[in-house]
Structure 1
Amino acid sequence: MGVVVTATPDGGVVPGSLAVYPGTFDPFTPGHHDLVARARVLFDRVIVLLAVNADKRPTAEARTRAARVRDAMPVAWGNVEVDTWAGLTAAYCLRRGATVIVRGLRTAADLGHEYQLAAMNEQLGMQTVWLPARPQLAATSSTVARAYRSAQSARPSPAGTYDHV
């Protein structure tokens, strides 16, 4: 099924490779950014694929999230592309000629779910590569980031200020 990779044997790029890193990226966290940074040196090209998933309720539409992800990419990362897709990730990969799906693992608990996805994608003709999250980034998920953002926006105004009189 999936394989955990931290680098190629010679520390270089897999020649001719196109990797797809799918997710809802709501929001795009430092952990996501780090995975893209690591994937882009392992593969010739990387597509950050914003999944349009009807089962999830993102805080912004796909185009807006895609623009935010694009804005987070350094200009020098010319081998990274951002795209959106509603459908199976494996179907997108096959259509684009991708050789691998990149997925991040934050915790051991993620492995069960990721293993199921990798098994399904393998049946559809796509291999999965798992990149472990860096320890300092593993605690922050998009869910945690959204909860933090929501809590910050719900905080009362500082003492002595009023929204209305």
Structure 2
Amino acid sequence: MAHASAGGLDSTRAVYPGTFDPFTPGHFDVVDRSRRMFGHVTILAAVNADKQPSQSTAARVTEIHRLLPADWANVTVAGWHGLTVEYCRHHGCGVIVRGVRNSTDYQREHELAATNEALGVTTVFVPTRPELAKMSSTAVRALRT
């Protein structure tokens, strides 16, 4: 598995995992910035045992793919039903990208990052732009109903 330090970041494969129920403008922004930093970014629509998504993994993958600009050639979307680190191992990804909106997000993500680092995969935090910080998938779902 290639780590970010094994070459330039432009050759690194990164994974941006999440439930993405739904995929928000904040998620879109994190992907846009990440695709400029890394050679390839996979948006990983993952299963989280603590959450009950409103759509199947396949439906979320399809929706995210539909939202992406056609010229984002270095971005793909995949579904996954396992640990993100295992996906990284199977697909040669050296970095996990995580968006953080606030100190609460950072605290939770920092603990996960330490575990992932111990398992051989680095986490890069991308801070949410201030104008997007109040947005969450939960809030977007509430607006839709």
TM-score grouping bracket, smaller chain normalisation: over 0.9
Q: Distance in 2 between matches of 1:117 and 1:36?
A: 20
The equivalent residue for 1:19 is: 14
The equivalent residue for 1:37 is: 32
| Post-superposition offset of 1:14 | 1.5
Secondary structure of the corresponding residue to residue 35 of structure 1? helix
Q: Distance in 1 between matches of 2:45 and 2:71?
A: 21
Alignment of 1:1-165 (within 5 A): 14-150=9-145
Q: Unaligned 5+ residue runs, structure 1?
A: 1-12, 151-165
| Post-superposition offset of 1:125 | 0.8
Secondary structure of the corresponding residue to residue 28 of structure 2? helix
Q: Distance in 2 between matches of 1:122 and 1:116?
A: 10
TM-score (norm 2): 0.92
**Matched-pair contact (CA < 8 Å) for 2:10–2:37:** no
Rg larger in structure: 1
Cα RMSD (Å):
1.0
Q: Distance in 1 between matches of 2:28 and 2:10?
A: 22
Secondary structure of the corresponding residue to residue 96 of structure 2? strand
Q: Distance in 2 between matches of 1:61 and 1:126?
A: 27
Moved over 2 A (4+): none
Residues 102-122 of structure 1 show CA distances to partners (whole Å, capped at 9, x for unaligned) of 000111111110011101111
**Matched-pair contact (CA < 8 Å) for 2:40–2:75:** yes
TM-score (norm 1): 0.81
Q: Distance in 2 between matches of 1:52 and 1:105?
A: 19
**Matched-pair contact (CA < 8 Å) for 2:15–2:44:** yes
| Post-superposition offset of 1:53 | 2.3
The equivalent residue for 1:4 is: none
Q: How many pairs does the alignment contain?
A: 138
